[in-house]
Amino acid sequence: MAKKYYITTPIYYPSGNWHIGHCYTTVICDALARFHKMKGEEVFFLTGTDEHGQKVEKEAAKRGITPREFIDPLVAELKDMWRLLGVEYDRFLRTTDPDHVACVQHIYQKLYESGDIYKAEYTGYYCTPCEAFWTETQLKEGKCPDCGREVTLQKEESYFFRLSKYAPRLLRLYEEKPDFLRPRSRVNEMVNNFLKAGLADLSVSRTTVKWGIPLPFDQKHTAYVWIDALSNYVSALGYGTADDSLYRKFYPADLHMVGKEIVRFHAIIWPAILMALGEPLPEHIYGHGWLLIGGEKLSKSKENARPELTDPYALVKRYGADAVRYYLLREIPFGSDGEYTTERFLLRINADLSNDLGNLVSRTQAMIVQNFGVIPPRGKEEGPDGALIAMCEGLFERVDADMGALNAPEALAEIFAVIDRANKYIDETTPWLLAKDPSQRARLGAVLYNLAETVRLCCVMLRPFLPAATEKILKSFGCEDSADLTFGALKEGGPIEKLPPVFPRLDLKKELAEVEKLCAQAKAKADAPSPAAEKESEGPKPPVSFEDFRKLELKVGEVVACEKVKKSEKLLHETVKLGEELRSVVSGIAKYYTPEEMVGKKVVVVTNLKPVKLCGVLSEGMILCAEDGAGNLSLVSPERLVESGATVR
């Protein structure tokens, strides 16, 4: 039977405003999952969203909508981000999925019946952003020891999980199986900072949080979000249901990959719950490091995420998913933190993808197309051939060992060492000179075959990391389905095609400016007023100075084209002419005007609002409308004929 591999990412808070740090865990897991699939293993790769809790409840209330209305578009955004990045999961679990809800209730019921959950009164300090409780002694200067923010004292009736009972077994686990948690430094942290100090029982229910899973034995209480979230690792496979075949097949997980700030939940609380349930523990937990910016964790809630630099959508759109994947997988030393800068990101693309891989591919293709038109015969081995072939032949074992150690940067370094060797091989064998000498035709063929075969092998090995680019390259060598890892498997006489550069070389200065601009548009979107803020802005407004009024730029525009925005009932997308300039503008007026009616209309446009994207469409301005008491909109237009581009003041 094929070996199986079950890998999980933590499930994400549906927060929107994703930054590149959010992509880190999931891209690593995707590369690992693809690598294990490549090895012929049966893989189950789980990711999803963590949707309950006070934070979501509060955010939704602020906007005057239900938690579900708040979450659904954010979940869709996250899924879209994984799609863009080529993340191929086997299940995207939402903690609001009915099977997950039933499983969490099953877990609580079982633990209640076995006496591992009991009722008492809770007094503790709660950190809403971290969804974590702390005792007074755990606080740092009266603030949350994890994130440094304010905590609130809470006192309420609660159910507790007997975590204290499992401390000795957990300590034994770390003595007997030290690689249960990696890297090693995290074990010391868990053992010395938490386990040796003794564990207090854990409050696992709330009466104040309504947006949660009701406990089956006491509907006044909802499940503590961390127990709810952690249970996803078993609920996703049908644990505790009539059909638990996936659970029996894939559980225990080979790997829970998590960021280091949530290791405590995965390495102490979750194993204790599994012990109490009598279920096996995962094989390994890995607590990876963070992407930093200015030495601090990239974090949306600390507002240092600099969306103007780190918006994954903008980066993927401009440089492609593979460039972002490559950066994340290659640049951050695994297990440690790594500073994110746009320069390093761009340099990586240029140095490795454009120069090393891109040049090898285009030089090899150009010379084969020019001299043979098909893959030339392999010929006999001579000169530097042996050294190159030897490097190719041991490559899979080296990459496999690195991926076994979860070290993607090292695995990529191995593959790129071969690419580098092949580029040197070109310099050593000088095929452009061989091409000038008809007596060297067989040698030219052999050299070019060795190069093409090296490209094929490296691309087969790179597939889990760079799925889109390798597919293109392998296809151009006529071997998109190739999985053979032996040197020489490339068919002589096979087709070949010259591709345009897969990773065009970037002008760093220009790109730095471009990234700032693109990501600033993303930031503008993040800064766009929420419906609640808009509501707040209704009613009489305080006076503003003339200076402030003059900060607005208003112009007369002519709508020259208009269409409905797909997936939106409210929005129209207009192209507005402002003098010589054309602008893309999105307006919420589809209920009042048809696209046909809009074309030719003269309108007043606010032209210096920060651009935003609405339903994926860029809006570089706002068309002014008058709104009557019933909320109906009517366009504001100049009363006499005025040229488009005229200033409104």
Residue 312 or residue 431: which is nearer to ligand MSP going by CB? 312
3-state class of 494 per DSSP?
Answer: coil
What x-and-dash track marks residues 164-183 binding ligand MSP by CB under 6 A?
--------------------
User: Residue 55: which of 74, 76, 27 has the closest Cα?
Assistant: 74
* 121 backbone dihedrals φ, ψ, rounded to 5°: -110, 140
573 DSSP β-pair partners = 563, 586
Among 5, 6, 12, 425, binds ligand MSP (CB under 6 A): 12
Among 6, 7, 11, 238, binds ligand MSP (CB under 6 A): 11
Stretch that binds ligand MSP, among 121-129, 295-303, 362-370, 478-486 (CB under 6 A): 295-303
- Cross-strand pairs, 626: 634
Q: Which helix (H) or strand (E) element contains residue 574?
A: strand 572-578
- 10 Å Cβ neighbour count for 185? 12
Stretch that binds ligand MSP, among 170-178, 297-305, 386-394, 439-447 (CB under 6 A): 297-305
Query: Would you call 151 helix, strand, or coil by DSSP?
Result: coil
- Which stretch, 8-16, 58-66, 84-92, 549-557, contacts ligand MSP (CB under 6 A)? 8-16
| Binding letters toward ligand MSP, positions 305-344, x by CB under 6 A | ----------------------------------------
Q: Is 297 in the site for ligand MSP (CB under 6 A)?
A: yes
Pairing of strands 202-203, 152-161: antiparallel
Which tokens belong to 575? 């192209």
Shortest distance, CB of residue 115 to ligand MSP, whole angstroms?
Answer: 25
Give the nearest distance from C-beta 46 to ligand MSP in angstroms.
10
Q: Which of 24, 251, 416, 477 binds ligand MSP (CB under 6 A)?
A: 24
C-alpha 406/C-alpha 181 separation (Å) is 13
Q: Please provide the distance, in angstroms rounded to a whole number, between the alpha carbons at the two ends of the chain.
A: 76
Query: Which residue stretch of 19-27, 216-224, 407-415, 452-460 sits at the interface with ligand MSP (rule: CB under 6 A)?
Result: 19-27
Q: CA 423 to CA 30: how far, in whole Å?
A: 29
**Closer CB to ligand MSP, residue 175 or residue 303?**
303
Contacting ligand MSP within 25-84 (CB under 6 A): 25, 50
- Closest to 227 in 3D by CA, of 9, 56, 53, 97: 53
| 262 forms part of the interface with ligand MSP (CB under 6 A) | yes
Of 221, 276, 515, 497, which is closest to residue 373 (Cα–Cα)? 497
Instruction: Give least dist CB 260 to ligand MSP, A.
Output: 7
Using rule CB under 6 A, residue 408 touches ligand MSP = no
Cβ nearer to ligand MSP, comparing 36 with 297: 297
Residue among 39 and 79 whose Cβ is closer to ligand MSP: 79
SS3 call for 628? coil
Site string for ligand MSP, 228-247 (x = CB under 6 A): -xx-----------------
User: Candidates 11-19, 31-39, 61-69, 512-520 — which segment interacts with ligand MSP by CB under 6 A?
Assistant: 11-19
One-letter identity of residue 4:
K
Distance separating alpha carbons of residues 402 and 283, to the nearest angstrom: 18
Which residues have C-beta within 8 Å of that of residue 336, sequence separation ≥ 6? 289
Q: Which residue has the tokens 């994890």?
A: 146
| Binding-site member from 5, 6, 13, 125 for ligand MSP (CB under 6 A) | 13
121: β partners: 157
**Chain contacts with ligand MSP (rule: CB under 6 A):** 10-13, 21-22, 24-25, 50, 229-230, 258-259, 261-262, 290-291, 297-299
